[in-house]
Structure 1
Amino acid sequence: MKHKLISGLILMAVLAACSSSDKNEKEIPAEKTVQVNADEVQLSAAQVKNAGIVVGQPETKSMHNTINVNGVVDVPPENTYSVSVPMGGYIKKMMLIPGMMVKKGAVLAIVEDQQYIQLQQDYLTAKNRLKFASADYIRQKGLNQTKATSDKIFQQTESDFNNQKVLVKSLAEKLRLIDINPNVLNEDNISRSIRIYAPISGYVTKVNTNAGKYVNSSDILFELISPGALHANLTIFEKDAVNLKVGQKIVCSTSANPDKKYLAKIHLITPSIEDDRTTSVHCDLENADSKLLPGTFLNASIAVSNALVETAPEDAIVKWENKYYVFTDLGNYHYKMIPVETGASLDGFTEIKTKNKLGSIVTKNAYAILMKMKNSGEE
């Protein structure tokens, strides 16, 4: 009986020890991330090892710096033609609509007016008078040489002859302005109408008149553009303009078709800065097509010359709430999140534009730290 009592006591002691051991195991807290400050975090060695976090130094690398800018498709002034009529008149006929392609020399419109008749009449009359003035001049010259007439009469005849030559010449030029050839004009082909011809081969962009309308010489009837003369007009900030030079290559795209790349070359940089601290850069488009219309919005990328910049691996940079950060190593698995401004990227590295030296940073699996930092309050 005594032996059984001792055995029972021993069994109870063992069970009590086991129960106490289980209780102690349950009371050991799980390893947690320690949030030091809003932008700092303390990890354990095990957490760093499991997350594969690697610490290193920013690297100085030579890379192309890319400037991203906006602009529009434009036409140089020398390739934009405004068509008007040198003398007013009524539009008798026209069949143009914006977007039409016309060839150089094509008839754009027919204009008629009585002043065209009057001008042709004046020219032919002046031309006939010139014949008489010429004959009279020759006659008076001969008489003056034999002193059969006074010098005064000869001088008057000579003046009338010269004035008539000037009048005929000026009337002939007026006829040429309205595309009437004075050399073939005679009393049998006087016309009340004139034709307006296309000065270039190109697209009609504007039509400002219609049949039956009276137009003045100052009115712009049509506008044409040369199809091969489109260029890109880009807006560049002051800080970026100093890095550009004539001849640099540019890659452009439109919002409607971003996959289509248009190549351009800088032709002219406006040598002045506007009030908004920008300037205009004019670029020749090398592969423009019919889908690229004047006024189309452009996105452009300009690669400037190589520069030695401080970089970090792309895996070292994290994005949080639309801002970029890196984690600096404060020692003993203590990390601080630092905001940075990023630049160009090349071969897995991104330029860091932060003025202050960063020192040791997390170069791999930085997002693991970000997740542990932002979720530490939930553990």
Structure 2
Amino acid sequence: MKNLSKYTVIGLFMMLLGLTACGDSKSETANNKEGNSEMEKAHLEGEAEEVMLTSKQFDVLQMKVDTLRMRNMSGYIEANGQLEVPPQNEATITSVVGANVVSIEVIEGDKVNKGQTVAYLSHPNIIQKQTDYLNAYTNSQFLKKEFERQKTLYDAGVSSGANFQKAEAEYQASRSMASGLEAQLLQLNVSASGVRNGTIYQRVALRSPIEGFVQKVEVKTGQYVEPQTDLFEIVNTHHVHADLMVFEKDVYKVKKGQKVLFKVQSVPGKELTAEIYSISKTFEQNPKALHVHAEIENKEGNLIPGMYIKGRILTNNDMTTALPESAIAKDGDRSYVFVVENEDKNWNFVPVEITKGIQDGEWIVVNFLTDQESNTKYAYNNAYYLMAEMKKGESEEEGH
């Protein structure tokens, strides 16, 4: 019994050691977990991670960076329309006589100057007008001399007043006819002085009445064209402006001098600005809306009359900080934007936490949790890509 008691005591002692070791192990494990949790927390709350892109990566991703902008996110009315030019900046070129097109000197899209030849015409009618003018001018010169002779005789009392009056009437009629034919030659761009010197022009030039671009060419070489047929359209796009339609319910909000923000498909990803300079005084009936004209302030790209535009007329000046939706990334229930720094041809992107406000289209009001310098630049796109790259970098570090 004593020996048994001895072994029993040893066994109990060993069990106590095991329990103690197990307890220490569990305590250590718990401490490790708590430590890891504290480290993770410290990692998240400590110095921010960053993403680095090389110049090549920056270009391939077509990154856009800019300083923070102030934007009107409320107090506006939506208005659609199209690009237009004033009537004095559009021209249609026609022929004043029926003729054949013998040469076309321009194609659609060409820039032309005022007075530049766009085509040549030829026809027997054109030659006939020149010969008619030459005959009328020659006859007028003859009758002028006869009139002067009769005037001299009449003043001397040698000739009767009837002969003098007849000579005067015939001269005035011939001079009027010659002047009328000369005006027709001027419309045909034919030199009257050249015809008087004996030159008969086989073809005449069609010239542009304004500077601009050829918008349409509606004839072919050899084609016969009737008088007043539209042959070419010229548009001067220098004065292209935004023509917006404002519905009746919103008319009272619109005033001269208000800013307009709008987009056109020919300038993707860019918002153009304009200022209202004219408001129509009559309604279009279908739809019942007013024309509002706005001068474009930052013209760029290929702005062509007739292009559809979608815009907003700003009716007050309440401005706030905003960024495009593509500049904001979420991580859990938090939102971030990326501050940009350029160093040695590399680009560093550091996340900065924000809170989001109202959204207008692709723009979102952003509120920073910390003060930001006015010259700080931000990534305006690919925020989710940058967040994913940052997370991937964290995972790789944890694996090591």
Give the TM-score band, short-chain normalised.
Answer: 0.5 to 0.7
Runs of at least 4 residues of structure 1 off by over 6 A? 342-349
Greater share of helix residues, 1 or 2?
Answer: 2
Shift of the 293–145 alpha-carbon distance from structure 1 to 2, 3 Å rule, reads closer
What one-letter code is carried by the residue in structure 2 that aligns with 1:215?
V
Whether the aligned pair in 2 keeps the contact of 1:130 and 1:165 (CA below 8 Å) is: yes
1-side partners of 2:85 and 2:266: how far apart? 20
Whether the aligned pair in 2 keeps the contact of 1:247 and 1:266 (CA below 8 Å) is: yes
1-side partners of 2:315 and 2:104: how far apart? 50
- What SS does the corresponding residue of 1:98 show, helix, strand or coil? coil
Alignment of 1:180-199 (within 5 A): 180-199=190-209
**Sequence identity (%):** 28
2-side partners of 1:63 and 1:117: how far apart? 67
* Aligned with residue 202 of structure 1, among 203, 212, 217: 212
2-side partners of 1:174 and 1:290: how far apart? 42
Alignment of 1:147-158 (within 5 A): 147-158=157-168
Alignment of 1:1-379 (within 5 A): 65-255=75-265, 257-275=267-285, 276-305=287-316
1-side partners of 2:317 and 2:74: how far apart? 5
Deviation at 1:225, TM superposition (A): 0.3
2-side partners of 1:233 and 1:244: how far apart? 14
TM-score (norm 2): 0.59
Deviation at 1:172, TM superposition (A): 1.1
Deviation at 1:347, TM superposition (A): 6.7
1-side partners of 2:165 and 2:265: how far apart? 76
1-side partners of 2:217 and 2:266: how far apart? 27
- What SS does the corresponding residue of 1:293 show, helix, strand or coil? coil
Whether the aligned pair in 2 keeps the contact of 1:65 and 1:343 (CA below 8 Å) is: no
Deviation at 1:141, TM superposition (A): 1.1
Shift of the 143–75 alpha-carbon distance from structure 1 to 2, 3 Å rule, reads same
1-side partners of 2:303 and 2:365: how far apart? 33
2-side partners of 1:186 and 1:279: how far apart? 55
Which ranges in structure 1 are unaligned for 5 or more consecutive residues? 1-61, 308-341, 350-379
1-side partners of 2:258 and 2:162: how far apart? 72
2-side partners of 1:103 and 1:176: how far apart? 19
2-side partners of 1:290 and 1:101: how far apart? 16
Whether the aligned pair in 2 keeps the contact of 1:124 and 1:187 (CA below 8 Å) is: no
2-side partners of 1:302 and 1:258: how far apart? 20
2-side partners of 1:204 and 1:253: how far apart? 25
1-side partners of 2:215 and 2:260: how far apart? 27
Higher-RCO chain (CA-CA 8 Å, sequence separation at least 6) = 1
Which ranges in structure 2 are unaligned for 5 or more consecutive residues? 1-71, 319-358, 368-400
1:314-358 CA-to-partner distances (Å, cap 9, x unmatched) read: xxxxxxxxxxxxxxxxxxxxxxxxxxxx99999789xxxxxxxxx
Whether the aligned pair in 1 keeps the contact of 2:85 and 2:237 (CA below 8 Å) is: no
Whether the aligned pair in 2 keeps the contact of 1:228 and 1:288 (CA below 8 Å) is: no
Shift of the 348–286 alpha-carbon distance from structure 1 to 2, 3 Å rule, reads closer
Deviation at 1:65, TM superposition (A): 0.9
2-side partners of 1:99 and 1:92: how far apart? 21
2-side partners of 1:243 and 1:252: how far apart? 18
Shift of the 240–295 alpha-carbon distance from structure 1 to 2, 3 Å rule, reads same
Deviation at 1:220, TM superposition (A): 0.6
Whether the aligned pair in 2 keeps the contact of 1:262 and 1:285 (CA below 8 Å) is: yes
Whether the aligned pair in 2 keeps the contact of 1:269 and 1:281 (CA below 8 Å) is: yes
Deviation at 1:74, TM superposition (A): 1.8
> What value does the CA root-mean-square deviation take over the aligned residues?
2.6
1-side partners of 2:113 and 2:139: how far apart? 41
Deviation at 1:118, TM superposition (A): 1.2
The residue that corresponds to 2:45 in the other structure is none
1-side partners of 2:223 and 2:150: how far apart? 52
Whether the aligned pair in 2 keeps the contact of 1:265 and 1:285 (CA below 8 Å) is: yes
What one-letter code is carried by the residue in structure 2 that aligns with 1:284?
E
2-side partners of 1:164 and 1:263: how far apart? 61
What one-letter code is carried by the residue in structure 1 that aligns with 2:142?
F
TM-score (norm 1): 0.62
1-side partners of 2:119 and 2:181: how far apart? 23
What one-letter code is carried by the residue in structure 2 that aligns with 1:185?
V
Whether the aligned pair in 1 keeps the contact of 2:267 and 2:302 (CA below 8 Å) is: no
1-side partners of 2:126 and 2:301: how far apart? 40
2-side partners of 1:254 and 1:126: how far apart? 58
